[in-house]
C-alpha cells in the first residue's frame, strides 16, 4: 500500500519535472494551454470535441512545418472536471508554467469567468472556442477573445427569420435554465422578437439533466395560437426535445441556436420526425468541397468518427485564429499575440470568416440559418450582422 502510494507520487513528481523541463528546455516550441471539462459531468460532450478540434489543428500546423519558421505548437490540455475551482486552479497552474503564449478553452461562460481573469492578470490572451456571452470581454478584459459569434447575434437573426420569413407572430419559448448559453439565447431572442411586434405566448423552462418533456409538451399542445417553438437548448437535449414534440403530433416549426447543430437532431427523432426544424449556426465555409469538408474528413480520420457537434469546428478555429495571430505577430510573446489577435481580419476559418471589429473582441461573423427537412439539413441563408 505505502509503496504503491510512493510509486504514484514519484511518478507524479517525475511527470511534473518532465513537464516543467519541457517548457524550459528551449525557446523552440510554442506553448499553448487548453482548458476543458473532459471528465466528471455534462460539459464533456461539448468540451471533448472542442479539444479534439484544437489538437487536430495544432497537429496539422505542425505537420506543415510549424509556425515562425519551424517552431512547433505544443498544446497542453488541462481537465477541469466540470468544477469552477478546477478551472481557476488550472489557470493558475498554466500561468505558473511560464512562457505560455495563449490559452484556449471552454464552451460555457461560467467556466471562462472562473479561468480567464487569471490569464487577464498575467497578460496572456484567452480565446474561448465555445462560450458565447457577448458580455465576456467586458467582464474579463482586453485579453478575452471569442471565436463564435455572440448569443445576441444568432438569437436576433433567428427572431427576424421567424417573424419575417416564417411569418410566426405567436411563439412559445423553452429555455434550459441550467446554462448561461441558453438563458442568454432566450433573453436576446425575446427582446428582438417582441420589438418586431411578435408575442411570446408561453415561456417554459427545463434543466439540462431533464429527459422527460412530456409535461411541457402537453402544455404546449394546450396553449392556444402557438405558431412555433424556440427551443433554447444545448446539444444534449436537442434531439429529445424534437422527438417528444413530434411524437405528440405537433408539427409546428421548432427553432433554436447552434446547440441544435448536432447529428442528434436528426438521429434521435429519426428522419421522418426531424422536419420543420430551423436553427442558427456557424457559416461553414465549403461544406461540400471547401475547408469545412476537409475539416470533416481530417477529423474523421484522426478520431474515427465524424465531428460530434459544432464545438469541434469551433475548437479547430480557435487554434487556427491563435496560430494566425502568432504568425502575424512574428513572435510567441503573449502581449504581441494579443495585439495581433485584436487585429484579426478576415481569418478564413471553418466556421466562417472571422474579424474582430475595431475595439471589440466578439467577432463579427456571419450566421447561417439551417433548415432540417425530413432528416436533410440544408443551408437556408446567411445573415451578416450589422456593426
Number of H helices, E strands in the chain: 13, 14
Q: Which of residues 316-335 bind another protein (CB under 8 A)?
A: none
Q: Segment near another protein (CB under 8 A), from 64-72, 90-98, 290-298, 324-332?
A: 90-98
Spatial contact of 202 and 173, defined as CB atoms under 8 Å apart: yes
Beta carbon nearer to another protein, 264 or 368 = 264
Supply the DSSP symbol for 260. G
Q: Which of residues 265-284 bind another protein (CB under 8 A)?
A: 267-270
Spatial contact of 247 and 273, defined as CB atoms under 8 Å apart: yes
Q: Which residues contact 17 (CB under 8 A, 6 or more apart)?
A: none
Choose which of 6, 8, 294, 381 interacts with another protein (CB under 8 A): 8
Query: Min. distance of Cβ 384 from another protein in angstroms?
Result: 28
Q: Taking CB under 8 A as the rule, does residue 376 contact another protein?
A: no
Beta carbon nearer to another protein, 18 or 167 = 18
Q: Taking CB under 8 A as the rule, does residue 78 contact another protein?
A: yes
Query: Min. distance of Cβ 228 from another protein in angstroms?
Result: 17
Query: Min. distance of Cβ 27 from another protein in angstroms?
Result: 21
Q: Taking CB under 8 A as the rule, does residue 206 contact another protein?
A: yes
CA separation for the pair 94, 303 (Å, rounded): 26
Nearest to 228 by CA among 193, 176, 179: 193
Q: Taking CB under 8 A as the rule, does residue 202 contact another protein?
A: yes
Query: Min. distance of Cβ 355 from another protein in angstroms?
Result: 27
SS3 203: strand
Beta carbon nearer to another protein, 237 or 364 = 237
CA separation for the pair 356, 151 (Å, rounded): 16
Over the window 212 to 241, marking each residue x when it contacts another protein by CB under 8 A and - when it does not, the resulting string is x-xxx-xx-xx------------xx--xx-
Q: Taking CB under 8 A as the rule, does residue 23 contact another protein?
A: no
Choose which of 84, 164, 300, 382 interacts with another protein (CB under 8 A): 84
Q: Taking CB under 8 A as the rule, does residue 375 contact another protein?
A: no
CA separation for the pair 71, 57 (Å, rounded): 15
Q: Segment near another protein (CB under 8 A), from 60-68, 110-118, 282-290, 342-350?
A: 110-118
Choose which of 211, 288, 289, 387 interacts with another protein (CB under 8 A): 211
Nearest to 329 by CA among 123, 68, 124, 147: 68
Number of residues binding to another protein, judged by CB under 8 A: 78
Q: Which of residues 42-71 bind another protein (CB under 8 A)?
A: 42, 44-45, 48-49
Q: Which residues contact 69 (CB under 8 A, 6 or more apart)?
A: none
Q: Taking CB under 8 A as the rule, does residue 81 contact another protein?
A: yes
CA separation for the pair 365, 354 (Å, rounded): 6
Spatial contact of 253 and 172, defined as CB atoms under 8 Å apart: no
Tell me which residue has cell 482586453: 142
- Helix (H) or strand (E) segment spanning residue 20: helix 2-25
Amino acid at each position: 500500500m505505502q509503496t504503491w502510494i510512493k510509486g504514484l507520487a514519484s511518478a507524479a513528481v517525475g511527470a511534473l519535472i518532465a513537464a516543467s523541463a519541457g517548457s524550459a528546455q528551449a525557446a523552440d516550441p510554442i506553448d499553448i494551454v487548453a482548458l476543458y471539462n473532459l471528465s466528471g459531468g455534462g460539459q464533456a460532450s461539448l468540451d471533448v470535441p472542442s479539444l479534439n478540434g484544437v489538437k487536430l489543428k495544432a497537429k496539422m500546423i505542425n505537420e506543415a512545418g510549424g509556425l515562425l519558421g519551424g517552431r512547433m505548437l505544443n498544446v497542453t490540455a488541462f481537465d477541469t472536471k466540470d468544477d469552477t475551482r478546477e478551472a481557476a486552479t488550472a489557470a493558475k497552474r498554466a500561468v505558473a508554467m511560464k512562457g505560455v503564449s495563449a490559452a484556449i478553452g471552454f464552451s460555457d461562460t461560467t467556466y471562462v469567468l472562473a479561468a480567464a481573469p487569471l490569464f487577464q492578470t498575467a497578460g496572456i490572451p484567452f480565446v474561448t472556442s465555445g462560450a458565447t456571452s457577448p458580455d465576456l470581454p467586458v467582464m474579463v478584459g482586453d485579453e478575452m477573445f471569442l471565436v463564435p459569434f455572440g448569443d445576441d447575434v444568432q438569437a436576433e437573426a433567428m427572431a427576424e427569420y421567424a417573424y419575417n420569413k416564417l411569418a410566426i407572430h405567436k411563439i412559445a419559448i423553452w429555455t434550459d435554465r441550467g446554462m448561461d448559453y441558453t438563458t442568454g439565447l432566450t433573453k436576446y431572442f425575446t427582446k428582438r422578437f417582441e420589438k418586431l411586434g411578435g408575442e411570446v405566448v408561453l415561456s417554459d423552462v427545463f434543466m439540462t439533466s431533464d429527459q422527460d418533456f412530456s409535461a411541457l409538451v402537453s402544455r404546449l399542445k394546450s396553449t392556444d395560437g402557438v405558431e412555433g417553438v424556440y427551443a433554447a437548448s444545448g446539444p444534449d437535449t436537442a434531439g429529445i426535445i424534437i422527438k417528444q414534440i413530434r411524437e405528440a403530433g405537433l408539427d409546428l416549426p421548432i427553432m433554436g441556436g447552434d446547440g441544435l447543430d448536432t447529428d442528434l437532431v436528426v438521429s434521435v427523432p429519426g428522419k421522418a420526425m426531424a422536419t420543420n426544424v430551423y436553427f442558427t449556426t456557424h457559416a461553414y465555409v465549403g461544406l461540400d468541397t471547401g475547408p469545412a469538408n476537409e475539416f470533416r474528413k481530417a477529423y474523421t480520420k484522426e478520431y474515427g468518427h465524424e465531428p460530434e457537434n459544432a464545438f469541434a469546428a469551433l475548437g479547430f478555429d480557435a487554434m487556427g485564429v491563435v496560430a494566425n495571430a502568432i504568425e502575424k505577430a512574428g513572435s510567441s510573446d503573449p502581449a504581441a499575440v494579443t495585439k495581433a489577435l485584436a487585429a484579426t481580419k478576415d481569418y478564413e476559418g471553418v466556421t466562417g470568416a472571422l474579424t474582430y471589429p475595431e475595439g471589440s473582441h466578439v467577432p463579427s461573423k456571419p450566421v447561417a440559418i439551417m433548415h432540417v427537412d425530413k432528416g436533410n439539413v440544408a443551408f437556408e441563408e446567411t445573415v451578416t450582422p450589422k456593426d
